[in-house]
Amino acid sequence: MSSYIELKNVSQSFQVNESKVTLFKELNLSICQGQSYAITGPSGAGKSSLLMLMSGLESPTSGQGAYVKGEQRKSLDFLRPDIGFIFQQFHLLPELTAVNNVALPLKLRGDKHAEDKARLWLNKVGLTHRVNHKPSELSGGEQQRVAIARALVFEPGFIFADEPTGNLDQQSATEIADILFSCCRENNAGLVVVTHSEELANRAQHIFSLSGGKIKAQVNDVLKAVSC
């Protein structure tokens, strides 16, 4: 069953004192499950805000978003159970071990096998030997691996990652990118990455540049004509 996220004529603005700041205006974009996307552009262009809109975690100032799953067309509010989100700052709970951080989303859903599944995913991201370590005992790259395992543990249809390699050294960044793209391919998840890294962006099937309130596909967006 094909699923995709559709944004139609979405705009995002906010007030600063008495001035209105518009991040972007009347954007149209579709994100298909099973395909990978990179969103690039200068700082302050609104990339992270667009990511939040796509994932249904924020609402646009104007325009509409839809989650299309098979024959059903719903608002993006219905997307939330089907997404995993990876933050640049990891957002792991400091008092929990790696396995309990990863298991938490499943436990909140009442999954009795949460810890077993968490261990399986920690193994997939190469952290079998770190399952009982807390975030403070892990390197930045290891913490990001835990965050990826946590986002993927319930096998969501879409993964959103905001600068997932931004705080990492080059070797760790490459390893994290390898894990992220391979795990999403294995689970047929749609992947949307916001990044300043040209190297990371070039690994995506589709690359979009957000600048001056407009979004455009780059020349090397080889699958831009492929529908969901």
Under the banding of pLDDT at 50, 70 and 90, the label for residue 47 is: very high
> Which CATH fold would you assign to the domain 3-217?
Rossmann fold (3.40.50)
Nearest to 41 by CA among 221, 223, 215: 215
**162 pLDDT more than 50:** yes
The domain locations on the chain are 3-217
**90 pLDDT more than 70:** yes
Q: At what angle do helices 114-124 and 140-152 cross, to 10 degrees?
A: 130
pLDDT, tens digit (0-9, with 9 covering 90-100), for 76-89: 989 988 999 998 88
Nearest to 35 by CA among 208, 210, 199: 208
Q: Per-residue pLDDT averaged across 9-35, rounded?
A: 90
What is the reported pLDDT for 224?
47
- Alpha helices (H) in the chain, listed in sequence order: 47-54, 98-108, 114-124, 140-152, 170-186, 198-201
Nearest to 51 by CA among 181, 190, 167: 190
What is the reported pLDDT for 167?
81
Contacts of 53 (CB under 8 A, 6+ apart): 7, 10, 12, 59, 60, 65, 76
Say how far apart CA 209 and CA 7 lie, in whole Å.
16
Q: Per-residue pLDDT averaged across 6-16, rounded?
A: 91
Say how far apart CA 208 and CA 220 lie, in whole Å.
10
Quote the DSSP letter at residue 203.
Answer: T
Under the banding of pLDDT at 50, 70 and 90, the label for residue 146 is: very high
